[in-house]
Amino acid sequence: MSLYQQTYQRWQQDPEAFWMEAAAALHWDSPFHQAREGNRWFPGGHFNTCYNALDRHVENGRAEQIALIYDSPLDHKQQKFTYRELLIKVACLAGKLQELGVRQGDRVLIYMPMVPETLMAMLACARLGAVHSVVFGGFASQELAARIHDAQPKLILTASCGLEPRRIVEYQPLLERALETNIPIMVLDRPQCAWHYRENHHRWGEGRAVAPARTLATDPLYILYTSGTTGIPKGIVRDHGGHAVALKWSMQHIYNISPGEVFWAASDMGWAVGHSYIVYGPLLHGCTTVLFEGKPVGTPDAGEFWRVIEEHRVVSLFTAPTAFRAIKKEDPQGTFLKRRDLTNFRALFLAGERLDPDTYHWASQLLEKPVVDHWWQTETGWPVASTCLGLDEEPGQPGSPGKTVPGYRVEILDERGQALPAGQEGAVALKLPLPPGNSPTLWNQDEKYHQVYLSQFPGYYNTGDGGYLGEDGHLFIMGRLDDVIIVAGHNLSTGSLEEALAGHPAVAECAVFAVKDDFKGQLPLGMVVLKAGQPETPQLHQELVQRVRDGVGAIACLKQVVVVERLPKTRSGKILRAALRKLADGVEFPIPPTIEDASVLDELRERLKSYSRR
């Protein structure tokens, strides 16, 4: 029996004892009276996340170890902070927040770019027992207003601007359009853009250092908003204790990282990955974390990731597959990588969207290191399925994010909630109770939490994703259930169609989505971005259509493939298929607030018009 099997079996035999053992690796101000009560973990215990992420390491010999590396090719700046220096900064910032009226239980909205002060602000809130809500810097005013209205913050922390490769994003106009009331604002001035100070605006500063608050393990640590299907954002709540226990356990057992090593999550602090694996996971585990303000390509080139890994001696990188598709498109031969020494680098982790086998194989062959696809959600806060490198597992099957992580039980259900056998596709559901680290509720919406996640399949958490389990336990995620294409009554997953297209050697990335059809209800339309230097030819179109026919079958009815320069994506790298569907069907719709660059929609609208006239 492998170490992974032994660990999973040990969790199954006594889940509560398993997580109490994991909790013992952290500092508790007072012990919890039981492991779990309903969907709350470690009730009664007092636990402060900031103390465990900073003070504990300073007191136990890591004071002079580098805790944070800030690397910004956009600002042409690098900074490093030891655990001692970071603790002082955070404790004094917490003192300043206290001077501005923030108390335990208050909400603080953080609307900031990828700078060290954003991380410090999150930890300062945790230190005070205030609840932080990070909103992606530069987010549209309407969406920002909805989050302010829901969270009712006592204070807003912001910066004068954020930096993008070709522009400066001024935050003041966006923030002022979103404000309904005169909420106090503290501003970090950046040299690229001036802030015009008004009444109740305060310059970024420090106060007297304060000690960590005595917070309960079940107290909320943060609210992270994710888009709701009704247009009203859902406030995912994370607690202090269970969240920290799960993340610390995952650093060792999933990512195979030891305290003192350098871990880099190339994401944004406005997303769940940024919360879990830029800020809390690495620091709780005693690692060095990298905070990167840049892009995989264009800041300045497709070799930037390799520079960061070499320069900062990164052991593992966690990013989205779209980042590697962008690098593959610009540098398919990996010429930039050949100039770098990646001796210290051990593994690449990819998540956030489906990893197509072509990108998996390209990255594996280029790096000659393990490439680990893994799957989780904002709501879970840490991986549900992965290759657990820390439990001596080897990366498994291309197209699969791995096996179920100890702590979770994944089942595939039909529409009646009955479990399906291996190989059959259905709804991916998690057997209750969920492990520590998962969101216990939505902010001020307990009933909606039950309705959205728990009502369809009693006894299960409904992930909203479709997929199947292989005979050997590998999970295959085929996409969101609302991405299913129904052709003449036959359900087709976008994942299988995209896998067929992505396998063509000329394709850098692709998306398949449904368009209306009077005869068959819906038909799939493929959209591909070609690798640099690849021409668009009639033969290429024929080959792409044939690949889908060969890989999925004639039932797929995919007869059209549109070649485009780029795809519309969220800032976290997910393709906006809903927007593509509406574009193709000629439906007017508001610009999605999560889109990275709205100009791509105008380009695609014209491309689809010209294509439909062929």
Name residues whose C-beta falls within 8 Å of residue 76's C-beta, 6 or more positions apart in sequence: none
- Look up residue 290 and give its DSSP letter: E
Rounded to 5°, the CA angle 568-169-273 comes to: 60
Report whether the peptide linkage leading into residue 433 is cis, meaning its omega lies within 30 degrees of zero.
yes
pLDDT in the model for residue 199:
93
CB 156 within 8 A of CB 111: yes
Backbone angles phi, psi at 260, to 5 degrees: 95, -15
Residues 384-411: pLDDT tens digits?
999 999 999 988 788 899 999 999 999 9
pLDDT in the model for residue 228:
52
Please compute, for residue 424, the number of CA atoms within 13 A of its CA located in the half-sphere on the CB side. 10
Listed in sequence order, the DSSP H helices in 404-536 are 446-449, 494-502
* Whether residue 437 has pLDDT greater than 50: yes
pLDDT in the model for residue 104:
98
pLDDT in the model for residue 611:
61
- Look up residue 542 and give its DSSP letter: H
Please compute, for residue 28, the number of CA atoms within 13 A of its CA located in the half-sphere on the CB side. 21
Rounded-to-integer distance, Cα 468 and Cα 495, Å: 12
Residue 282: enclosing H or E segment and its boundaries?
Answer: helix 281-284
Q: How far is CA 98 from each of CA 115, 171, 182, 228, 376, rounded to the nearest angstrom?
A: 22, 24, 18, 33, 35
Which residue would you say has higher pLDDT here, 164 or 142?
164
Pairing type for strands 155-159 and 107-112 reads: parallel
* Whether residue 614 has pLDDT greater than 50: no
pLDDT in the model for residue 484:
66
* Whether residue 383 has pLDDT greater than 60: yes
Which residue would you say has higher pLDDT here, 434 or 586?
434
pLDDT in the model for residue 572:
67
For the chain, state the CA radius of gyration. 24
Q: How confident is the model at residue 463 (pLDDT cuts 50, 70, 90)?
A: very high
CB 74 within 8 A of CB 293: yes
The answer to which of 20-34, 119-133, 192-206, 341-355 has the lowest mean pLDDT is 341-355
Q: How confident is the model at residue 156 (pLDDT cuts 50, 70, 90)?
A: very high
* Whether residue 520 has pLDDT greater than 90: no
Pairing type for strands 262-265 and 426-431 reads: unpaired
pLDDT in the model for residue 230:
46
Which span out of 76-90, 474-488, 547-561 was modeled with the highest average pLDDT? 76-90
CB 222 within 8 A of CB 122: yes
Please compute, for residue 319, the number of CA atoms within 13 A of its CA located in the half-sphere on the CB side. 25
- Look up residue 434 and give its DSSP letter: P
Please provide the average confidence, as pLDDT, over all residues in the chain: 92
Q: Which residue has the tokens 């105008």?
A: 602
CB 421 within 8 A of CB 361: no
Residues 207-228: pLDDT tens digits?
999 999 999 999 999 999 986 5
Average pLDDT over residues 507-529: 84
Which residue would you say has higher pLDDT here, 105 or 550?
105
pLDDT in the model for residue 139:
78
Backbone angles phi, psi at 590, to 5 degrees: -70, 150
Backbone angles phi, psi at 420, to 5 degrees: -100, 150
SS (H, E, C) 411-422: EEECCCCCECCC
Please compute, for residue 338, the number of CA atoms within 13 A of its CA located in the half-sphere on the CB side. 6
The answer to which of 51-60, 201-210, 465-474, 513-522 has the lowest mean pLDDT is 513-522
SS3 170: strand
pTM tops 0.95? no
Residues 329-343: pLDDT tens digits?
999 999 999 999 999
Would you tell me how many other CB atoms lie within 10 Å of the CB of residue 430?
24
Rounded-to-integer distance, Cα 383 and Cα 81, Å: 28
Average pLDDT over residues 573-585: 82
Q: Estimate the share of the chain in helix, then strand, then coil, as percent rounded to the nearest 5.
A: 35, 25, 40
pLDDT in the model for residue 491:
59
Q: How confident is the model at residue 190 (pLDDT cuts 50, 70, 90)?
A: very high
- Look up residue 13 and give its DSSP letter: H
Average pLDDT over residues 540-554: 84
Average pLDDT over residues 306-315: 98
pLDDT in the model for residue 322:
83
- Closest to 284 measured CA to CA, from 27, 19, 63, 44: 27
Which residue would you say has higher pLDDT here, 590 or 434?
434
Backbone angles phi, psi at 608, to 5 degrees: -70, -35
Q: How confident is the model at residue 136 (pLDDT cuts 50, 70, 90)?
A: confident
CB 457 within 8 A of CB 415: no
pLDDT in the model for residue 89:
98
SS3 348: strand
Length of the chain: 614
pLDDT in the model for residue 414:
93
Average pLDDT over residues 23-32: 98
pLDDT in the model for residue 98:
98
- Look up residue 394 and give its DSSP letter: P
- Closest to 346 measured CA to CA, from 408, 265, 257, 449: 257
Q: How confident is the model at residue 613 (pLDDT cuts 50, 70, 90)?
A: very low
Would you tell me how many other CB atoms lie within 10 Å of the CB of residue 484?
17
Alpha carbon 312 to chain centroid, angstroms: 22
CB 520 within 8 A of CB 542: no
pLDDT in the model for residue 57:
98
Alpha carbon 604 to chain centroid, angstroms: 26
Domains of the chain are 3-294+374-407 (3.40.50.12780), 484-612 (3.30.300.30)
Average pLDDT over residues 102-118: 98
Please compute, for residue 34, the number of CA atoms within 13 A of its CA located in the half-sphere on the CB side. 5
Rounded-to-integer distance, Cα 503 and Cα 2, Å: 33
